[in-house]
Structure 1
Amino acid sequence: MPGELGGWAVVLADMSVFAVLFAVFLVQRAADPAGFASDRTELDLATGMVNTLVLLTSSLVVVHGVHAFRTGSRELAGRLFAAGAALGGVFLVIKALEWVGKFSAGITPMSGEFFLYFFVLTGIHAVHVVLGIGFLLGLRALSRTRRPRQGHVRVVELGGIVWHMVDLLWIILFPLLYLAS
């Protein structure tokens, strides 16, 4: 199994917390389908799609980075991890611009239950993106070590797993918030 067992436990715990949040969102949406559907129209589908493509691309880059590290191409791995982190930064910039646009239009977490969930869920996800970027930058630094140790491969695999979890969360959030009526 790639990574460390403890890392998988943390990922599972984190995904479980999000599963509960998603379930609560779905229950609340079922209680007010018209209100949620109406508020959802205030979101820009193109923005959500672009952010989805950015994170999917970042995952592909990180997969190649992990492979490069495993095969001894540490310089390439470092560049790929930096590129994955940069794409995470692009995601955050787009998300920040989306939030600024909503606040400028008078839409806040207090604008309705849908927007409360929108800001909370995307905000928690953004924190995960920031942490994931930190992991990727750590992997970049690890790629520069002169004498990698046997355990470094497991650390790199765990960093990749964490980044893929961040992407998976967005892959669930995107249709939940932007597409489902």
Structure 2
Amino acid sequence: MSAQDCEMQESGLLAELPGDPMIWVLIFSELAVFGLLLGAFAVARAVNPVVFASGQAVLDPGLAALNTLVLVTSGWAAARGAAAARAHAAAACRRWLLLAIAFGCTFVAIKLLEYAGEIATGVGLETSTFFTLYFLLTGFHLLHVVLGMVILAVVQRGAEAGAVETGTSFWHMVDLVWIVMFPIIYLVR
């Protein structure tokens, strides 16, 4: 790639976003995958609303709402960590990112508690189309939460602004996906 190509690439849309431009390629790809899964969920609900209504009746929207609050708070802590990294306050950055990770762990614990309650009622992946898609969507998101916590743990060590911006950009994608998933899965009838 020539120097002129690199300059053109650096001045493009991705260059205006925080963090490494390649994280945005990953984020947009992940958003597309989640969008397709949520679209499949919406179509399946339209085709079989009775199965989806009975599946939603088993869910605990209170725990999901608590998890929404936990994840949004974690995103706030991650944003504070990124601001601290930009201000060259490495110790503060580490504290904020560790707090974000702690809230991420809380999200995971609540989600696992929710899964345990659902499984205790006898539901699983093969119970219905609703639960197949529910466990697929929320499980895929849960894996992204865990990956996001690993990314935050890695970038907090050096507390370098560019790396922290990259890691928190991924973490905010995880937040955004949950904020969209929560009402679609738990509230919309």
TM class by shorter chain equals over 0.9
Separation in structure 1 between the aligned mates of residue 19 and residue 149 of structure 2, nearest angstrom: 18
- Residues 1:26 and 2:26 aligned together: no
User: Are the equivalent residues in 1 in contact too, given 2:88–2:161 (CA < 8 A)?
Assistant: no
Separation in structure 1 between the aligned mates of residue 77 and residue 101 of structure 2, nearest angstrom: 10
- Residues 1:137 and 2:153 aligned together: yes
Structure 2 segments unaligned to the other structure (5+ residues): 1-15
Q: 2:61 aligns with which of 45, 49, 53?
A: 45
**Which residue of structure 1 lines up, in the alignment, with residue 142 of structure 2?**
126
Kindly state the Cα deviation for residue 54 of structure 1 after the two structures are TM-superposed: 0.1
**Which residue of structure 2 lines up, in the alignment, with residue 180 of structure 1?**
188
Kindly state the Cα deviation for residue 98 of structure 1 after the two structures are TM-superposed: 0.7
Separation in structure 1 between the aligned mates of residue 120 and residue 158 of structure 2, nearest angstrom: 41
Q: How many residues align?
A: 173
Separation in structure 2 between the aligned mates of residue 17 and residue 61 of structure 1, nearest angstrom: 26
- Residues 1:89 and 2:105 aligned together: yes
Give a deviation string over 1:15-39, Cα, whole Å, max 9, x none: 1111111111111111011221121
Kindly state the Cα deviation for residue 72 of structure 1 after the two structures are TM-superposed: 1.2
Separation in structure 2 between the aligned mates of residue 105 and residue 40 of structure 1, nearest angstrom: 13
User: Are the equivalent residues in 1 in contact too, given 2:156–2:164 (CA < 8 A)?
Assistant: no
Kindly state the Cα deviation for residue 5 of structure 1 after the two structures are TM-superposed: 1.4
Give a deviation string over 1:87-125, Cα, whole Å, max 9, x none: 000000000011111111111111111111111101000
**Which residue of structure 1 lines up, in the alignment, with residue 165 of structure 2?**
157
Separation in structure 1 between the aligned mates of residue 32 and residue 158 of structure 2, nearest angstrom: 29
| Residue identity matched to 1:180 | V
- TM-score normalized by the length of structure 1: 0.93
Task: Choose 1 or 2 for highest CA Rg.
Answer: 2
- TM-score normalized by the length of structure 2: 0.89
Q: Percent identity at matched positions?
A: 37
**Which residue of structure 2 lines up, in the alignment, with residue 148 of structure 1?**
none
Runs of 4+ in 1 over 2 A off after TM superposition: none
| Residue identity matched to 1:123 | G
| Residue identity matched to 1:3 | G
Structure 1 SS opposite 2:59: coil
- Residues 1:116 and 2:124 aligned together: no
| Residue identity matched to 1:57 | T
Separation in structure 2 between the aligned mates of residue 97 and residue 61 of structure 1, nearest angstrom: 24
